[in-house]
Structure 1
Amino acid sequence: MRIYLLPISTRRTLIYCERLSVHEARQKSLVDRAVDKASTTWTNWERTDKGWKKSVTHYGSILLNRIPFEEWGLKTVPPLAKRKGDLKGGRRRVEVLYPGAFLEEGHAPWILERIATERQGLHRGKMWWSFGGMPLAAPFALIPIIPNFPFFYLAFRAWSHWRAWSGSKHLEFLLKNDLLKYHPSPILDQMYTAGLMHRSPFKSRAAPTPTPDQTAKLADNIDAEKQPDAKEVMLLRRWNGKLLADQLKLPNMEVEIERAVDQVERDIKAKEVEEAEDPRRKGEARAEAREEKNSPS
Structure 2
Amino acid sequence: MRLFLLPISTRRTLIYCEKLHEKAASERSLLDKATFKANDLWVNWEKDEKSPLGWKKKVTTYGNQLLKRIPYEEWGLKTIPALTAKRKKAIEDGKEKYQVMFPGLYLHQNKVPEILKKMASERVAMHRNKLVWSVVAMPFTAPFMLIPVIPNLPFFYLVYRAYSHWKALTGSKHLDFILQHNLPTPHPSWELDEVYTAGLMYPTRAISRAAPRPTKEQAQEVARVVEQQTNGGDEDVMVLQKWNGKLIAEQFHLPDMEVEIERAVEQVEDSIKARDELIEEKLELEKATAKEGRTAKDELPDEVLKPLEQTEKEIHKKAEKVAEKQ
Matched residue, 2:55: 52
Cα 1:113–1:89, aligned 2, differ >3 Å: closer, same or farther? same
Contact 1:19 1:25 in 2 (8 A): no
Q: Pick the aligned partner of 1:256 from 254, 257, 260.
A: 260
Q: Pick the aligned partner of 2:248 from 244, 248, 254.
A: 244
Cα deviation, 1:17-75, whole Å, max 9, x if unaligned, reads: 01344569996432232122111111111123470011001111111000000000000
Cα 1:37–1:172, aligned 2, differ >3 Å: closer, same or farther? same
- Count of equivalent residues: 290
Name the SS of the counterpart of 1:194 in structure 2.
Answer: helix
Cα deviation, 1:142-175, whole Å, max 9, x if unaligned, reads: 3221011000000000000000011011111111
1:1-297 alignment runs, 5 A limit:
1-21=1-21, 28-49=28-49, 51-82=54-85, 83-227=87-231, 230-287=234-291
Cα 1:212–1:28, aligned 2, differ >3 Å: closer, same or farther? farther
Q: What amino acid is the match of 1:81?
A: T
Cα 1:198–1:68, aligned 2, differ >3 Å: closer, same or farther? same
Cα 1:28–1:100, aligned 2, differ >3 Å: closer, same or farther? farther
Cα 1:48–1:194, aligned 2, differ >3 Å: closer, same or farther? same
Inter-partner Cα distance in structure 2 for 1:25 and 1:111: 36
Inter-partner Cα distance in structure 1 for 2:259 and 2:19: 17
Cα deviation, 1:175-213, whole Å, max 9, x if unaligned, reads: 111011110111111110111110000000001111110
| More displaced stretch, 272-281 vs 61-70 | 272-281
Q: What amino acid is the match of 1:70?
A: E
Contact 1:4 1:17 in 2 (8 A): yes
- Any unmatched runs of 5+ in structure 2? 295-326
**Deviation, structure 1 residue 241:** 1.0
**Deviation, structure 1 residue 271:** 0.7
Inter-partner Cα distance in structure 2 for 1:217 and 1:260: 25
Contact 1:10 1:225 in 2 (8 A): no
Cα 1:143–1:20, aligned 2, differ >3 Å: closer, same or farther? closer
| More displaced stretch, 43-52 vs 181-190 | 43-52
Inter-partner Cα distance in structure 1 for 2:79 and 2:287: 47
Q: What amino acid is the match of 1:43?
A: V
Q: What amino acid is the match of 2:242?
A: R
Inter-partner Cα distance in structure 2 for 1:63 and 1:53: 15
Q: What amino acid is the match of 2:6?
A: L
Cα 1:26–1:180, aligned 2, differ >3 Å: closer, same or farther? farther
- Any unmatched runs of 5+ in structure 1? 291-297
Cα 1:135–1:288, aligned 2, differ >3 Å: closer, same or farther? farther
Name the structure, 1 or 2, with higher relative contact order (CA <8 Å, separation 6+).
Answer: 1
Name the SS of the counterpart of 1:4 in structure 2.
Answer: strand
Normalised by the length of structure 2, the TM-score is: 0.84
Normalised by the length of structure 1, the TM-score is: 0.92
Q: What amino acid is the match of 1:57?
A: T
Inter-partner Cα distance in structure 1 for 2:149 and 2:276: 46
| More displaced stretch, 141-150 vs 68-77 | 141-150
Inter-partner Cα distance in structure 2 for 1:261 and 1:157: 22
Inter-partner Cα distance in structure 2 for 1:17 and 1:61: 22
Inter-partner Cα distance in structure 2 for 1:49 and 1:38: 19
